[in-house]
Amino acid sequence: MSSNGQSKTPEVVVVTGASAGVGRAIAREFGKHGASVGLLARGEDGLDAAVHEIERLGGRALAIPTDVADHEAVEAGAKRVEEEFGPIDVWVNNAMTTIFAPFHQISPEDYKRATEVTYLGYVWGTMAALRRMRPRNRGTIVQVASALAYRAIPLQSPYCGAKHAIRGFTDSIRSELIHDGIDVHLTAVNLPAVNTPQFDWCKSEMPNRAQPVPPIFQPEVIAEAVYFAAHARRREVTVGWPAVKAIWGNKFFPGLGDWYLARTGVDSQQTDEPNRSDSPSNLYEPVAGDHGAHGRFDERAEDWSAQSWLNMHRGWVAAGAVAGFVLAGALAQGKRR
């Protein structure tokens, strides 16, 4: 309830890539807080299931089948969300695809497609959001980023290249908004390895089945961080100690990282199971069915991150530390007396 006794207007949110994986968990997190959520993705089975989940959690949801590589489709999706729910408060860019393969084995067509989805999908989403947020002088855009935007790894050049591009693109737009005095907030959430279905449906040329590089986190850990970032007005939020270590390690020892990943980065992205030749790929078309938020690594995935919790509560942590020092000083002074 607001201070005048009237019900607070539900937050209007758009999440791209909302049919499965991290996007599905993010959409549920906003729904849990009563938001009206526009769901943009290609997989209609997953979109329909996400709508039911959000409504059960107390939010509202609108499924809009969308290929984010298509600028006109993204713009049409944004328009429909505002017609149904009202002005968009938060836009979360999350949709992605990739190809697990050495660069020299990737065709130009496949590379272009992965880049159009994973990079240009964020550009078109940001463009559609800003077209509406700039005139209102309010709103937040969350870029679901990655530690791989700072420290690239082998076998994922399309994804790493796109994530690096998103970081540069976002920094550029942020400076433009500051110059123009526009109070639209851009933030990025840097992800660690996450247990999602992408490792079963992204195109792979590797001999064995793909896996996230351990340690692995559940999508709900990411969703909580994204919800936090959408309201905390931080420039960036990094989730999980492994992501922090990768980002800072690359700042100081990039050459060492190159050599280390050359030795370990190929094997660590594969399980011991042979890759199936008939494995589905979502590069050009969605994979049928509802795949949910989780991948096949539940037994190995962490559902909590101490680093993430401390990051999101750093104000309270700092206050507690100060209080502890003051108390310790008072006790020490009392003993001396």
* % pLDDT > 70, the chain: 91
CA distance 51 to 290: 12
pLDDT at 5: 47
- Give the span between the Cα atoms of 64 and 285, in whole angstroms: 16
- The answer, yes or no, to whether residue 330 has pLDDT greater than 70, is no
- Active-site residue 159, yes or no? yes
- CA 60 – CA 28 distance, rounded (Å): 10
Asked whether residue 196 carries a pLDDT value surpassing 60, the answer given is yes
Domain ranges of the chain: 12-304
pLDDT tens digits for 206-263?
A: 999 999 999 999 999 999 999 999 999 999 999 999 999 999 999 999 999 999 999 9
Checking if the pLDDT of 6 tops 60, the result is no
Q: What is the mean pLDDT of the chain?
A: 94
Q: State how far Cα 150 lies from the chain centre.
A: 15
Q: What is the pLDDT of residues 18-59, one digit of tens each?
A: 999 999 999 999 999 999 999 999 999 999 999 999 999 999
- pLDDT of 317 strictly over 70: no
Query: How much is the pTM?
Result: 0.94
What is the topology classification, in CATH, of domain 12-304? Rossmann fold (3.40.50)
Contacts for 216 with CB less than 8 Å, ≥ 6 apart: 192, 193, 194, 195, 297, 300, 301, 302
Q: How many angstroms separate the CA atoms of 263 and 257, rounded?
A: 10
Which value, to the nearest 10 degrees, does the dihedral of the CA atoms of residues 242, 243, 247, 250 take?
Answer: 40
**Considering only 7-16, 64-73, 162-171, 283-292, which range has the smallest mean pLDDT?**
7-16
Other CB atoms within 10 Å distance of the CB of residue 196: 30
- Taking alpha carbons only, the member of 40, 57, 25, 19 closest to residue 217 is 25
pLDDT at 329: 60
From 119, 122, 150, 159, the catalytic residue: 159
Closest CA to 269 of 331, 201, 209: 209
The pLDDT tens digits for 74-85 are 999 999 999 999
Q: 280: how many CB neighbours lie within 10 A of its CB?
A: 15
Structure tokens at 51: 């709508």
